[in-house]
Amino acid sequence: MASGLGVALFSSAVFGLSGSFAKALLETGWTPGAAVTARLTGAALILAVPAVPALRGRWHQLQDNWLTILLFGLIGVAACQLFYFNAVARLSVGVALLLEYLAPVIIVLWLWAASRKRPRPLTIAGTLLSLGGLVLVLDLTGAVKIDFVGVLWGIAAAVCLAIYFFITAKENDTLPPIVLASGGLMVGAAVMWLTAATGLLPMAFSTADTKLGPWVTPWWVSLGGLIVMATVLAYVSGIVAARALGSKVASFVSLTEVLFAVIWAWLLLGELPGPIQLLGGVLIVGGVVLVRVDELRGAASGVPAPAAVAAPLDHANDVEPVP
């Protein structure tokens, strides 16, 4: 348990670097589409190395699970990361990530509307707490005005993350997680290159030096960090942590990604949300914790979870589409 917890914290820490590395590239002239495409392509090539042996020659697993891989790559990887990077281009890294972490709340509201069955009080409290946190994160009366286009991008990323949870909610023992991660990254990279080739997605790269904290580094340092640390190491360590702790415990630990992202953005970019926004972030994360605690209580009591109690979160963290 202790070693698994350490791996899970490491996974959250390196996942939290993605926004800082991406913003360093965006500030030199990279477009969000170019950053996402380079990230997915590099990570897909690296993760293909362990994914092929993991199949053990059972190539039919890819054919049997082609729809899951396709949807995971299209929505959970490509769209989610593109929307998040577009949000990062207009907002601080911390605010963009906090908006994306509204995904569990979106799941609760959607299932509530679809089933017309009221969730348990703890889930309602968590939802209201997160929505209140959203109001504070936006800090509508603050001196620093929020870019509402960036907010829409962040909410779009949250919607993609919620859809991803629905896609992966079904227990699936026929496809190794590393294969799903690699396959999804390949699909995501292919989609990005295709949209770029058709002119639908602006693509601009730059070889200008990037600035990370007090250091001025070549562009490939930030790109390499985005690919190797914030994607490959993050996915692999996340899989190891989920297997050691179980997906539910690992999902709780993954909430620390918000904290790590804010700390990295402060150290590497000089960004720090205001006190009101930080309080809003605490409320959002606290609301998500309440929803997941309610889920655990329902599972422990043996009572079937009501429709809105994030049942899709049961198995959704074996492979995380965290930006």
pLDDT in tens, 236-247: 888 778 777 766
Contact between residue 36 and residue 82 where contact means Cβ atoms under 8 Å apart: yes
pLDDT tens track for 272-300? 777 888 888 888 888 878 877 777 676 66
Of the candidates 28, 25, 50, the one whose C-alpha atom is nearest the C-alpha of residue 38 is 25
Mean pLDDT of the chain: 82
**pLDDT recorded at residue 315:** 43
Of all helices (H) and strands (E), which one includes residue 212?
Answer: strand 210-212
pLDDT tens profile 258-274: 888 888 988 998 887 77
What integer is the mean pLDDT of 25-40?
94
User: How far, in Å, CA of 297 to CA of 303, rounded?
Assistant: 9
Better-scored residue on pLDDT, 316 or 81: 81
Report the distance separating Cα 165 and Cα 317, nearest Å. Answer: 8
pLDDT value for 310: 41
Place of tokens 């150290």: 267
Tokens of 178: 């590393």
Q: What band does 126 get if pLDDT is binned at 50, 70 and 90?
A: confident
- Asked whether the predicted pLDDT for residue 304 surpasses 60, the reply is no
Greater model confidence, 150 or 295: 150
